[in-house]
Amino acid sequence: MSRSEGEKGSGFHELPLVLFTALTIAGAGIGVAHLGFSVLGWAPWIPPRWVRVAMGGLFAGGLLFSVGHLGKPLRGSLALARFGKSPLSNEIVGVGVALGGSLLALFLPSDHTFLGPASIVAMVSSVLVLLALGHVYRLGGQHAWMGPVLVHPLVLGLGLGSVALLGALPAGVQVRGELLILSLLFLDGLLVWERTGRLSASLRKGTPVQPGFMRLRWAALSLRVMLGVLVPAGALLWGEAGLALVSLSLNLLLDRLLFYGLAVRETTRSGILKVDEALRAHAGLYHPGHEPAPDPMQPVEE
């Protein structure tokens, strides 16, 4: 492979996926939050019209951007044939059902018999969507995409959705809603901390897909904590739910960007380096600290 081919192949091509997952998590998060509030008795089972509009619009926008990542968009429907077996197929079906339920609930009259069932289908499907978004990236050889990172879409979506719905809660339960949101923000911070350690361990096993992103990981993850934990928590305590929603929206976009940008993949080169290190150690020719370790920041080599 020539140098020009290597540089071309190392570009960031996941922007459609960033936008798809960010919009989908936001739409599903609103649905899951309203479902949770309904179960707690804080909100009616049928979401207000603006909630149905937000869910339908975000799901539709996410699916539109996802088409930009498909090499052959017209063949995307073939993924449905593996529903139940493929996490990707489950994700597509889940988003489609959630979108269909949201749009049906949006256009039905307020007194229609099927308004309640359509709304519940959309909200329950939102839970499945957030779980599927994590499970679809459980891939062998992708060291940074394992562990608790698989439940992160659910935490992100539920936190953002809860903040979006906070102002619609009755005055008597808004304080409890804020405490729930603060707990979710704390959990998000713990997951970011776990991801930081996982990245360090991953770099000893594989090669970063985007070395440029990886070099900026400390600054990027610090910004991630500020936008996803510190600013929204402070805004809620100050009584500024709108600021918290803006911060969490930016945080969601940044989180998805870093999810793909900080990927660490098992490659032929990283495998050779691990075998070489093991052979040296076994032969007594290599002792950690006596010679520099291989640079994990080199680009992926196919």
End-to-end CA distance of the chain: 9
pLDDT of residue 135: 77
Share of the chain above pLDDT 70, in %: 74
Please report, to the nearest 10 degrees, the dihedral formed by the alpha carbons of residues 192, 194, 196, 197 taken in order.
170
In this predicted model, which residue has the larger pLDDT, 43 or 302?
43
pLDDT of residue 185: 97
Share of the chain above pLDDT 90, in %: 49
Q: Alpha-carbon distance 207 to 13, whole Å?
A: 17
Q: Residue 5, Cβ neighbours under 10 Å: how many?
A: 10
Q: How many residues does the chain have?
A: 302
Work out the angle between the directed axes of helices 231-238 and 174-202 (0-180°, nearest 10): 170
Q: What are phi and psi of 296, to 5 degrees?
A: -80, 0
Range in 1-10, 106-115, 183-192, 195-204 the model is least confident about: 1-10
pLDDT tens-digit profile of 235-287?
999 999 999 999 999 999 999 999 888 888 875 554 444 545 545 555 554 44
**Inter-residue contact 203 to 5 (CB < 8 Å):** no
Res. 144: pLDDT tops 50: yes
Kindly tell me the sign of the dihedral angle through the C-alpha atoms of 239, 241, 243, 247: positive
pLDDT tens-digit profile of 3-16?
333 344 457 778 88
Confidence at 199, pLDDT banded by 50, 70, 90:
confident
Question: Which residue type is seen at 91?
Answer: E
**Inter-residue contact 24 to 95 (CB < 8 Å):** yes
pLDDT tens-digit profile of 56-74?
999 999 988 877 655 555 4
Beta carbons within 8 Å of 146's beta carbon, 6+ residues apart:
138, 198
The mean pLDDT of the chain is: 81
Spatial CA neighbour of 199 closest among 262, 283, 136, 125: 262
The pair of three-digit structure tokens given for residue 239, joined into one six-digit string: 């009584």
Q: Alpha-carbon distance 266 to 236, whole Å?
A: 41
pLDDT of residue 34: 97
